[in-house]
Amino acid sequence: MHPYPLPSRSLLLILVALTALGEISTQLIIPSLGAIELIMTARPGSSLLALSAFVAAFGLGQLLLGPLSDRIGRRPVLIAGLLVYLLATLWMLLASSMGEFIAARVLQGVGACAALVLARAIVRDVWQAQAGPALALTVIGMLCAIALSPILGGVLTLYGGWRAPIALALVIGIACVCAVLGLYRESNRQLDPQAGQLSHLASNYADLLRAASFRALALALACTYGAMFAVIAGSSAVYIGLLGLSPAQYGITFAAIVSALIAGALFTQRRILQLGPEKIVGIGAVLVATGALATLVIYLLFGLSLLGLSVPQVLVTLGGGMLLPAAVAGAVMPNAHRAGLAAGFMGFAQMAGATCSGVLLSLLADGSAWPMVVLNSLFAVAAYGAFQLLRPRSRLVKPLQQGSHSHEQL
């Protein structure tokens, strides 16, 4: 038996599931947020804190768990994180107050972040120079979860109550643990005994951020996901509360919007070796800003409507689907010797954007769609501006790898 795992479809399928776990955990419960507030007698809008708390823990945890996996290996950190995820999800099922539910979500975020950051690092370990398309495929899995989970969550909430989506997340978590225990061997071939030590952590991250391209990609990712998260977190109240859709109808509508994420990610997966990540990020940022500004203009001119809100957001999700995997690949690929560190920071950047967006949305909530629409536009414009201002212009964008033979290894 080969001492380290080789590229295979079965391993890639596990990594896709791990990458999607965090989104599954969030998207499944979004249709039930209103019901959770009612049952736990919490103030309207307080459930948004459960989303923001999860995202904050999800992002901060990656700053530590990624480097820790560079030091002691991917497998022990991944298994420990998944076990924490299971305990936290079980706690959510038993929670009797909103404060307890939010605390459980924080712990769940810590566990889920291990799945995401380790999946990205494992892709770099195993696929090595051909990791770009594989990373894009894992993001496609995450985006499929964003598209399908709200539908499933809405149906489960309708027929099984607010605990049913959480119970499904628990079952998926158990399946992930079993798959990792049975099918994944350690893939980190160069353990770094100094990685993860607090004395070196800050200097290592500072070294990463010295690269202008890394800063541009991280900020573009953070702001793009902030723009998307404003709609992810706010859409339930707008579509169900203001436009009168049922939870199941909301799930179908939301899935139709975010299906463009998958189309964008497929474009990246197929063209990243030819175009290079930075060019794709630039195209994606233009689409995100265009869609968000169109949403704002339509809202100001014609008010809130189902089509006026949904159609322009397809451009946002199409651009986001292109940008997310390209930004991650562009940051992780040049840092093979510290893939956990780079993947951890990009995960943190993504979740930092979502956390800022979610907190602002909660603070600005006024019962209308205005805060969601404005934040969506502001973050989208910030993503475009940050990337254009910070990306290096002294050289042409280099493709990750010439040729298309890498697809055969997937």
What is the band of 407 on the pLDDT scale with cuts at 50, 70, 90?
very low
pLDDT at 400 over 90: no
Which residues are CB-contacts of 102 (< 8 A; sequence separation ≥ 6)? 49, 50, 53
> Does the residue 81 lie in any domain?
yes
Cα atoms found within 13 Å of the Cα of residue 154, Cβ hemisphere only: 20
Contacts of 292 (CB under 8 A, 6+ apart): 227, 312, 316, 376, 377, 379, 380, 381
For residues 295 and 373, is the Cβ–Cβ distance under 8 A? yes
Cβ-based burial of 36 (10 A; exposed 0-12, middle 13-18, buried ≥19): buried
Give a yes or no: residue 283 inside a domain.
yes
Token pair, residue 52, equals 């923001």
d(CA 191, CA 186): 11
| Percent of the chain at pLDDT exceeding 90 | 44
Total domain count, the chain: 1
Residue 207 reports pLDDT greater than 70: yes
- The residue range of the domain holding 83 is 9-190+199-393
Identify the residue whose tokens are 């042409």. 396
Q: What is the pLDDT of residue 279?
A: 94
Scan for tokens 């798959």, then name that residue. 179
Write the CB contacts of 228 (distance below 8 Å, at least 6 apart in sequence): 316, 317, 320, 354, 376
> Would 404 be classed as within a structural domain?
no
Q: What is the DSSP letter of 42?
A: P
What length is written for the chain? 410
Residue 135 counted as domain residue: yes
Q: In which band, very low, low, confident or very high, does the pLDDT at 394 lie, cut at 50, 70 and 90?
A: low
**336 DSSP assignment:** G
Report if residue 408 sits inside a domain.
Answer: no
- pLDDT tens by residue, 125-164: 888 767 778 877 888 888 788 778 888 998 898 899 999 9
- Does the pLDDT value for residue 403 go beyond 50? no
Q: For residue 245, what is the domain's CATH number?
A: 1.20.1250.20
Residue 398 has pLDDT above 70, yes or no: no
pLDDT digit string, tens, across residues 317-373: 999 999 998 998 898 888 777 777 887 888 889 888 988 998 899 889 888 999 999
Query: pLDDT digit string (tens) for 276-328?
Result: 999 999 999 999 999 999 999 999 999 999 999 999 999 999 999 999 989 98
Residue 406 lies in a domain: no
For 241, which DSSP code?
I
Are 404 and 273 in contact, with CB atoms under 8 Å apart?
A: yes
What pLDDT, on the 0 to 100 scale, is given for residue 198? 67
* C-alpha span between 343 and 174 (Å, rounded): 24
CA distance 174 to 14: 13
How does pLDDT run across 23-63, given as a tens digit for each residue? Answer: 899 889 988 888 888 888 888 777 778 887 888 888 888 88
Q: Are 151 and 251 in contact (CB under 8 A)?
A: yes
Give me the pLDDT at residue 358, please.
85
Helix (H, G, I), strand (E, B) or coil at 79: helix
Residue 125, domain member (yes or no): yes
